[in-house]
Each structure stands twice: as C-alpha cells, then as structure tokens.
Structure 1
Amino acid sequence: MSLSCALAFCMYGYDAGVLGGVQTTKPFLDAMGHPTGTYVIPMIASSYTLAAAVCSLAVSIIGLPLGRRNCILLGDAFVIVGASLQASAWSVPQIIVGRVLCGFGIGFISCTVPTYMAEMSIESKERGPEVAVQCVFLISGVALAYWLDFGVTRMTNQVSWRFPIAFQAFFAVVSGLGMFFLPDTPRWYYAKGRNQEGDDVLSRLHDRPLDDPAVQEMKQEIMATIKLEEEEENKFNVLHLFWDTTDLRAGRRIRISFLVLSIQQMMGINLSVYYSTVVLAQIGLSAFLSQLLAAVMNTLFAAGTYFLPSTIERFGRRKIMIYSAIALTICMIIFVAMIGLKNPTKGTQWTAVAIVCIYNFIFGYGWIGVPWLYGPEIAPLKLRHIGGAAGAFGEWLFSFITVFAGGIALENVGWKIWLWMLLSCAAAVPFVYFLCPETTGKSLEEIDLIFAKQSVKDSMLADQMRRHHGFGDEKEGVTRMEQV
C-alpha cells in the first residue's frame, strides 16, 4: 500500500521536474520546431499544472462517489496516456495535450494519495510518518528527473529528451498494478454504507478479528463521527466556504486546506524546481554548471524530506511549519540581496547558489510533507475528499501562476520576482500561528473536536470519543481557534 502510493507520488515529483532539464536543449527545440515567443515554453511547462488544478476541482465533486482507490487508479491511467503522447510529440500542440492529460492524472493522485494513507492509519502516530514518506518519494522524483536529464542530455539525439519524458509511465504502471489489488479505506466504506467491506479492511489493517476490542473501538469512533456529520446542522453547503456557521466548522477547515498549500506555492519552490537551470544561468553560471547544480540543488531538496518522517510526531506540525518558514524568509532575504547587486562578483554568485541550496533543503523538510498531510487530516470524514481537493487546487492554481507568470517574469524583471517569494515566506509564519492548531497525536476523529463549537465538544458523542482516546483537557489548539 505504501509502495504503490509512494510510486504515484514519486511520479508526481518526477513529472514536475523532468521538463525543466530538457526544455532548453537543441534536440527538444528541434522537435518542437524552435518555438518563438516569450509565452510558449512557460505554457508547455504550466499546462500540466493548470490541468491538475481543474482536475482538483472535479475531485471535490466526484471524489466521494469514485472512492480513494479508484481516483488513484484513474490518475495512473491518465499519466500512461499522457506520457506516451509527450514522448512521441513532434509539435507544441501535441506535447501540450500530453502535458494536460498528465496534469489530469497528477490532479487525481495529488488530491487522493495523502487522504488514502491518512485514512488507512490505525494509530495517530502512524499518520504523519506515513504521509511524510510519500513526500520523500515525491521530492526524490524531482531529483531523479534532473539527474536523468543531466545524464541523457549529454547525447545530441532525440532519445536525449524522449526517454526521460516516457519514463514517467513506468511509475504509473507499477503504481496502478499495486493499487489494483488493494482495497479502499475503511472510513470510505463506512461513509458509503458498505459496512461489511469496512469491517473486513479494518480487521485486516489491525491484523485482528472483528470482535477484537481495538477493532471495535476504532469502528465505533468512525461511526460516531459519521453520525455527527450527518446531523442536519452539520450538513455542508458551498456557502460555508465563505461564511461558516456550522458546529463542525467544515468550511473553515476546507479554507485552511486550500490556503496552506497555496501559500506553499507562493513561497517559490516550483519556480525554483521548474526553472532551476534558468535561475542558475541568470546568476551567471555556465550552461553545464547550471544543469549540474540544478541536479545537486534538487537532490538537497529531496534530502530535506528524509528527516521529516522520524521527527514529525516529535516536533509537531505547527512548530515545523513556523520555524522552517522563519528560516526560509532569512534565506530568501540573503538570496535576493546577492542576486540584486548591480556589480556581482564570484563571491556573491556562489553565496546565492549556496543559499538557494539551503533554501531547498529547509523547504523539503518543513513545507512539503506537513502541508500535504495537514489539509486532509483536518477535514471531516465525509468531506475529506473536498479537503484534499481544496489543498491540491490551491497547490496547482498557484503552481500554474508561479510557473507560467514566473517563467515570463524571470525573462522580463529578473531577480525582482523573488521579492514576491520573500514576502510569501514571511506571511506563512502568522498564517500558521493564528489559523493552524496542532493536530499531532490526535486521531482523525478527535481532530473534529479541535475545530468544533463548544456545544459539540460537550455532546455525548464527543464525550465518547474522549473516553476512547483520552482527549482530556488539552485546550491550546481549541482556544486558539475560538479566538480566531
């Protein structure tokens, strides 16, 4: 289960990075007919992110009927077709169509994989590390793409770009085969009224019979949450996204899911990933050094994610996001200062390279795995597909803006575009402090209590969940949310 989802997320990262290493090579430009105009290459790169944003909106509607498993399978199928079209492209329109189909596939996958792994967890301490592991594979896919690009683009034939583009289909095939033999999550089965299948999966996850106390306790907690969400006053309405009056504050939670990944993108990471070679060339490095250091930079980006699975439960979601955002702001101030100098020297150039590498490492640790986990885990059970889709929509919408507009801005305004990223890194600190309560150590059902109104906390169902998990009198997150 973990491997199938990890390969799907690895494909997501690989697809995000693979074009960046080949889009300026002569064989690729020859195949595309040497397109002219400032907008063509950014449109090829960003068409995939725009398609993923559109697909994320679709998942908010069809995600619950389709189920978590089928969404991932559908995503894998789209990528196989899209990768085939891209690898065989001889024109800009064909490669854009292939990128769009891959974008649809990655939209399904990015919305669903964190939700699937979070809902398959049977202990709260498993959920963070499991989703963090998926994000390790996600960013490892970016690094793999740049190293593969760096290696094959030493050749001067069409294979130099077609092979790395086609290779993304390998991840989709293996992930799809694995998912085909896996069930959906027990929470989805119960939410759909398919209790017998939910019982079977829950029993298999615990590796215990259905009548075991641990299995029954978790089932009753899930069923209690479903009953709470089905009460008339807690029914979700689209207007709640703008003015939330529900007892469970579902609209507020979905807004946070959207915003946390929107801010993540505005902090500049995809501009760095998609245009690594362009950014390094603008610093003043040669084409060879730019390609080599782009691979090194994205390897450090991946390396940062490797430290998250073992520390996310120890440090907590809030602390990791807040302190890493502070560090990213400092890095961005230094980076902007170095590249904004009118008379750069070798010292300022290499300082800028070193800082952007440190920035990528810190970002990989603090702002990849945690935001992807946080959105789905704070959403109510029956709206978790909407929470995941809202987060992915924010990710892809602002990814499109930064990749398309940012690519043009790099050509027209140069280093000044990074001021936007600097301000976004700084804005992330108060956003997390005031709007994101701590969820570490809580079951998915207990998180409802962090956001719920006091009347719900005092209800019989809430008391039952407190007794099951010893929720106790922890008020820090609750008080903060009530103040907001």
Structure 2
Amino acid sequence: MKIVCGTSFMMYGYDAGVLGGVLLHPPFLDAIGRPKDVWTIPMITASYDLAACVTALAILPFTFRIGRRGTILLGNLAAVFGAVIQASSYSVAQLIVGRLVTGFAIGCISSAVPTYLNETGVEIGDRGPANALNAILLISGVPLAYWVDFGFTKMYNQASWRVPIVLQVIFAFFSGGCMWFLPDTPRWYYARNRWEEGDAVLARLNDTPVESEQVQNTRREILAAIEAELEANSSLHWKQFLTMGIVDNTRMKIIRRLCMCFWLPMIREWMGSSLIAYYSSVILATIAKPSLVSLLSGVLNIFFALGCVPLYFTIERVGRRSVLLYGAITMTVLITIFTVLVALSTTEAIRWAAIGIIFIFLFVFGYAWQGCVWLYCAEIAPLEYRHIGGAATAFGEWLMTFITVFAGPIGFDKTGWYFWLWVVSGNVIAVLFVFLLCPETGGKTLEQVDYLFVDKGFAGLRRNFDVDVHGLDLWNDKDKEKEMERHEIAP
C-alpha cells in the first residue's frame, strides 16, 4: 500500500516538474507555434494547477461513494489520458486540454492518497513513516523529471519533449494496476455501513482473525468515533465555514478542523516551496553564472528530496507539532537571511552565500513541511468528513500553487527582490498558525485525535491529555459511563 500510494505521488511530482524542463526547448516551441505573448507559457503551466484546484472541490459529491481506493483509481486512469493528450499536442489548445486532464488526475490523487495511507495503518506509529515515504517519492519525482528532461533535450527533435511527458504513464499503470487488487480502508467500509467488509479488511491488515481482541478494539474505536461525529452533525451549518472556523459551535470543532485542512497546505505554498521548485532556474539565474544555472537547479531539487528522508525515521519520535513549528521558525530565519543577501548581492561571495542559504532552506522545507502537512491534515479530518478534509487539503495546495506559479514570474519581473518579502511573511504566518491552532496528534489513533479538539484554548497552551481508547478522559463522568454502557465497555 505504501509503494502503490508513493508511486502515485511520485507521478504527481514528476508531472509537476516535467513540463518546466521543456518549455523553452526549440522543438517544443515549434510544435505549439512559438507563441509571442507573455501569457501563453504561464497559462500552459498554471492550467494544470488550476485543474487540480477545481477538481478537489468538484469531486466532493461522489468521492465518499466511490471511496479512497476508487478516487485513486480514477486519478491514475485520467493521468494516462492526460499524458497521451499532452505528448501528442501540436497546438496550445490541445496542450492545455492535456494539462487540464492531468490536473484532474492529480487533484484526485492528492486528495485521496494521504487519507488512504492514514486509514490503512495498523499501529499508531505506522502513519508518520508511511506519509514520510510518500513525501520522499513525491519530491523525488521533481528531480527525476528534471534529469530526464536534461538528457532528452540534448536532442533537437519532437521526441525530445514528447517522450519525457508520456513516460508518466508508467507510474499510472503501476499504481492503478496494483491498486485494483487492493481493498479500500476499513474506516470507509464502516462509514458506509459495510461492516462485514470492514471487519475482513481489519483482519487482513492486522493478520489476525476477526474475533481477535486487536481487531475488535479497533472496530469499537472506529464505530464510537462515527457515532460521536454523527451526533455533532446537528450543530453544523454551512455559514460557519464563512468564518474560516473562527465561529465553530460543533463539539469536536469539525468546521475548524476542515478549515485547518485548507489553510495548512495553502500556507505551505505561501512559504515558497512551489515557487522555488518551479522557477529554480529563474531564481538562480539572478544569482549564479548562466553556465551553472542548469546544474545548480538539478542539485537544488535533489536537496529538496533528500530533506524528506530524515522525516521517515524521526516523525514518530519528534511529533508533528514540533516538526511543523520548529521547522517554520528555522525557515523564517533562513528565508529572511536569503532575502537580505539577495537585496545586497553586490559581490560574488554574497551571491554564493545566498545560494547556500536557499539550499539549506529547501532541505529544511522537505523535512519539516512537505510530508508532515499531508499527514497532519489527514489525521485531523473527522472520519465522516475525511473526504472533505482531503478535498480541502488538495484545494488549498493547488489554489496557492496556481497563484504562485502564475504570479511568481510577474512578481520577480516587476518588484525584484522585494517579492521575497511576501515569502517571508508566509513563513511568519506558519509559525503563528501552528503555535496557536495545531495540537500534537502523534502517538494517538485517528479516533483519539477527535477528542484533542474538544478542550478549549490555544493549541500551544493545551494540556497534554492521555486519551484512552475512546478519548473518554476528555468527558465528564456521566458522559463516560453513558458511552461505556452504549458500547458495552468494561470500566
């Protein structure tokens, strides 16, 4: 399951980077008629992000019906069609259509894969490494695409850009083909009242009989969470979403949690990840010599991927909140120093110092925010609304990516180094957001996470609760006794 989901995310990273390496390649420009205006190329690039952004919301009405597995399968199928349309393009219109179809595919995959990984974990400590591996493969797709482009663009024929683009179907065939033989998550089966299938998958995941204590405890936990969330439905109202979670009358802060799923990835893009990844060549061209730009861009993206590796081994020990908070603080310091160096780039030594800082910044970014945000958002989304949480996460990710990719070159052209102040502000916001709103979810089951949001107060000042199997430590004695009787739990 980890390998299949990771391959889908690697395709996501590969597709995000592959077109950028051929945009200025003469055979590519010949195929699309060598556009003269300044809008065509950014629109071709950004149409992918826009489609993924819209898809995240458009698929909401039916993703809960087809499940996490079905959504991933749909995404991989669409990716094949999108790659073929792009690779066979001989016009801007056809290329944009291909980008839109591929964007639809990635919108499906990015909203469903983190949820699928989290809900199929057997032990509490499974979720962190699984999502860290996902992040490693995601970011590895970007330098892979870069180096494939780097090799193919040494040729000057139509295959030099069409082959790199169509290669992404390999990821889709492998991931979609394997996913066909895998089940959906037990939590989705239970939420759809398909209890027998949920029991069967739980037993397979735990490699124990359905009657085993491990399976039955997890089953009771999931059903209790579903019932508690359904009881909270009565206080849900769409108008509360307009306040972005500030006004939330639900007992488990369902609206606030779904809004956090939107804001965390949006802030991540505000912090500069896609800006640097998409336009590494443009950024480095303002600092380094032209002969070194291509090489440095490839190495920079490799550094980004390497930063995700330590997360696999440390996420369960350090915790999500600490990784996000201290990572954001470190990145704020680094990007501030980088901005000052770019503003004062009067000598070659200062320019090389700025390059060194941006390398360290992306390494820290890969460790602290790239994988951890996907993990955290999938954990805090309530089970009954996890498809909405996944959609909100993907929507926030792709909305800000579209804004960044479309407006980034214009910002650099019009304002120069002052544009980096916008990126600095995003890192400052990230520190405040995590400190005030994000409790620690590590070391708890997905069902126990529900009860972290029952207590009032800022996340940074919250008491460290030891939540029992149903989170009952957050309830008063009368509620606890009632819940125990309802699920026949021995005191």
**TM-score, structure 1 length as denominator?**
0.92
CA offset digits 1:425-447 (Å, max 9, x no partner): 11111110000011010100000
Which position in structure 1 is the counterpart of 2:399?
397
Which position in structure 2 is the counterpart of 1:87?
87
Secondary structure of 2:444's counterpart equals coil
RMSD between superposed Cα atoms in Å: 1.9
- Does 1:246 pair with 2:250? yes
- Counterparts of 2:36 and 2:236, CA distance in 1: 48
Secondary structure of 1:359's counterpart equals helix
Q: Supply the AA of the counterpart residue of 2:60.
A: S
CA offset digits 1:7-39 (Å, max 9, x no partner): 000001111111221112222222222112222
CA offset digits 1:444-470 (Å, max 9, x no partner): 00001101258xxxxxxxx9x954378
Which position in structure 2 is the counterpart of 1:416?
418
Q: Supply the AA of the counterpart residue of 1:11.
A: M
Which position in structure 1 is the counterpart of 2:282?
278
C-alpha deviation, 1:60, in angstroms: 3.0
Distance verdict in 2 for CA 1:110–1:232, change over 3 Å: closer
C-alpha deviation, 1:414, in angstroms: 2.7
Which position in structure 1 is the counterpart of 2:367?
365
- Counterparts of 2:90 and 2:177, CA distance in 1: 30
Identity among equivalent pairs (%) = 49
Which position in structure 1 is the counterpart of 2:14?
14
Which position in structure 2 is the counterpart of 1:338?
341
Question: Which segment is superposed worse, 424-433 or 148-157?
Answer: 148-157
Which position in structure 1 is the counterpart of 2:71?
71
C-alpha deviation, 1:281, in angstroms: 1.5
CA offset digits 1:218-274 (Å, max 9, x no partner): 001101111111226556432332332111110000011111111000011101111
Secondary structure of 2:469's counterpart equals helix
Which position in structure 1 is the counterpart of 2:129?
129
Q: Supply the AA of the counterpart residue of 2:145.
A: A
Distance verdict in 2 for CA 1:466–1:232, change over 3 Å: closer
Question: Which segment is superposed worse, 145-154 or 293-302?
Answer: 145-154
**Contact 2:467/2:474, CA 8 A, preserved across alignment:** no
- Counterparts of 1:232 and 1:333, CA distance in 2: 43
Which position in structure 2 is the counterpart of 1:468?
469
**Contact 2:4/2:179, CA 8 A, preserved across alignment:** yes
Which position in structure 2 is the counterpart of 1:325?
328
Which position in structure 1 is the counterpart of 2:451?
449
- Counterparts of 1:267 and 1:18, CA distance in 2: 22
**Contact 1:122/1:205, CA 8 A, preserved across alignment:** yes
- Counterparts of 1:385 and 1:238, CA distance in 2: 17
Which position in structure 1 is the counterpart of 2:231?
231
**Contact 1:189/1:198, CA 8 A, preserved across alignment:** yes
- Counterparts of 1:421 and 1:139, CA distance in 2: 20
**TM-score, structure 2 length as denominator?**
0.91
Which position in structure 1 is the counterpart of 2:259?
255
Secondary structure of 1:247's counterpart equals coil
Which position in structure 1 is the counterpart of 2:482?
none
Which position in structure 1 is the counterpart of 2:459?
none
Which position in structure 1 is the counterpart of 2:358?
356
Consecutive unaligned residues of structure 1, counting only runs of 5 or more, are 455-462, 475-484
Aligned pairs for 1:142-291 within 5 A: 142-231=142-231, 233-234=233-234, 236-241=236-241, 242=243, 243-286=247-290, 288-291=291-294
**Contact 1:78/1:105, CA 8 A, preserved across alignment:** yes
Which position in structure 1 is the counterpart of 2:61?
61
- Counterparts of 1:238 and 1:129, CA distance in 2: 35
**Contact 1:56/1:389, CA 8 A, preserved across alignment:** yes
Q: Supply the AA of the counterpart residue of 1:394.
A: G
C-alpha deviation, 1:43, in angstroms: 0.9
Secondary structure of 1:311's counterpart equals helix
C-alpha deviation, 1:413, in angstroms: 2.4
**Contact 2:447/2:470, CA 8 A, preserved across alignment:** no
- Counterparts of 2:467 and 2:438, CA distance in 1: 21
CA offset digits 1:359-406 (Å, max 9, x no partner): 111100001111111111101101001111111100000000000011
- Counterparts of 1:233 and 1:473, CA distance in 2: 19
**Contact 1:19/1:45, CA 8 A, preserved across alignment:** yes
Structure 2 residue corresponding to 1:300, chosen from 303, 314, 320: 303
- Counterparts of 1:29 and 1:261, CA distance in 2: 33
- Counterparts of 1:375 and 1:153, CA distance in 2: 38
C-alpha deviation, 1:411, in angstroms: 2.8
- Counterparts of 2:455 and 2:362, CA distance in 1: 39
Distance verdict in 2 for CA 1:282–1:32, change over 3 Å: farther
**Contact 1:228/1:234, CA 8 A, preserved across alignment:** no
Which position in structure 2 is the counterpart of 1:45?
45
**Contact 1:57/1:393, CA 8 A, preserved across alignment:** yes
- Counterparts of 1:26 and 1:285, CA distance in 2: 22
Question: Which segment is superposed worse, 8-17 or 223-232?
Answer: 223-232
